[in-house]
Structure 1
Amino acid sequence: MHKVYLSLGSNLGDRKYEIKRAVELIGERIGAVERVSSLYETEPWGFSSDNMFVNAAVCVSTHLTPRALLEATQAIERDMGRTAKSVNGQYHDRTIDIDILLYDNIKVDEPDLNIPHPLMNERDFVMKPLKEILA
């Protein structure tokens, strides 16, 4: 089993419910959710919006490869109503965003998959919940 850390964010709809639902789907489709951080309300990062975010982090044990994990998180996002991914730093409001932060101690550097997440250290809304659950 692999230990992975994911970042969750929502700024549309019932944000707390969207995070809770994402955690449930992660448990069903990805693996056992070992830890869930507190919820943090934060300002949008990288774009302007009237909608505040709710952010959290989860630790999950999974048998999925990094590529399969990416596909599973993107499928959850689509199933929860996310219609477009952020591209080239163009961010927008979303019902759910799931980012892979860490996967064991490995590094992945591919065009559409970078682990550890390259911007996580620049984002308090990622690092605060992550530090809360790191083991």
Structure 2
Amino acid sequence: MYVYFSLGTNLGDKEHNLRLAVQKIEERIGKVISLSAFYATAPWGFSSENTFLNAAVCVETLLPPLSVLYLTQEMEREIGRTHKSVGGVYSDRLIDIDLLLYDDRVMDTPELKLPHPLMHERRFVMEPLVEIAPDLVHPVLKKKMRELL
């Protein structure tokens, strides 16, 4: 199974935060197949003086989607993220690991929605994702990532 993540950080040593997240993902979730370049982006959905560094990563895993979610949440806490965004209220963060796609699986549970419901609306997600998977097809919208960008 191939899992795609969006990574973001706008506090501290941003490059270190992203590399640490990738290292933890590889240790606990599976083999990193591809990692995008790091993209400097403006905050989305809130105001901040701190710009973001974003990336996308593809990982091969045998773990089920909810296990992947729980592991990424644990990694965020370990790196120093104290709270998740709730109700569309966003804030500065040391790390954000969003599960975007899990193969072509579609899920809609209170804990996890796959594919990520806002991914195609966010340039900071789509640019790095298109770099590593331009021809990947969105399982709901039935368009290639490059078309969605």
Residue 111 of structure 1 and its aligned partner are, at CA, apart by: 1.3
Q: Distance in 2 between matches of 1:43 and 1:125?
A: 9
Q: Which runs of 5+ in 1 are unaligned?
A: none
Alpha-carbon RMSD across the aligned residues, in angstroms, is: 0.7
1:104 aligns with 2:103: yes
- Identify the residue that residue 124 of structure 2 maps to in structure 1: 125
Runs (4+) of structure 1 exceeding 4 A deviation are none
Matched, 1:47 2:42: no
Per-residue deviation, 1:59: 0.2
Deviations, residues 23-75 of structure 1 (Å, cap 9, x unaligned): 00100011000100000000000011000000000000011111000001000
Offset at residue 6 of structure 1 (A):
0.2
Write out aligned runs for 1:1-135 (5 A).
2-134=1-133
Find the aligned partners of 1:83 and 1:123 in 2 and give their Cα distance: 23
More strand by share: 1
- Counterpart residue identity of residue 31, structure 1: G
Deviation at 1:112, TM superposition (A): 2.1
Identity in percent:
57
Aligned length: 134
